[in-house]
Amino acid sequence: MRALLAVLVLAGCSQPAPQSGAEAIAAREDTALQPLKAQYKPVINGIDVKGTTLDIFVDADQFNSMDDALEVQMKAQVLKRWSAAWRSNHPGRHATLRVRLRNYFGEELFSESAKT
């Protein structure tokens, strides 16, 4: 009987904690932005969503060697996707969204804002 009780207690402890509303929104926004990593590989290495700010971590060498037209296209696509992801998770709300491109050391290479 004790063994069964111990198994039930351990099984209950191993359940993942439920996500808060903010965590769930951040996870959905992150998922919506993941295709950018595949589309602009190997330039984009990581994505971090914090409220109304999206940090895109880039390989500085790859970023600096991009064709100018492709760089402009990437920046526009990032802002467009970020705006769409944010609006879908915050219906009826307005905000100034910020996109920052950062290198491995966290130094800002580019920043742009847009109102929703």
Q: At residue 63, what are phi and psi to the nearest 5 degrees?
A: -65, -45
Taking CA atoms, 110 is separated from 18, 26, 69, in Å, by 36, 22, 16
| pTM: predicted TM-score of the whole model, two decimal places | 0.79
Give pLDDT tens digits for 66-103.
Answer: 999 999 999 999 999 999 999 999 999 999 999 999 99
Query: Mind listing the domains of the chain with CATH numbers?
Result: 20-115 (3.30.70)
Q: Which residue has the higher pLDDT, 9 or 55?
A: 55
Give pLDDT tens digits for 15-70.
Answer: 555 578 888 998 999 999 999 999 999 999 999 999 999 999 999 999 999 999 99
pLDDT of residue 111: 97
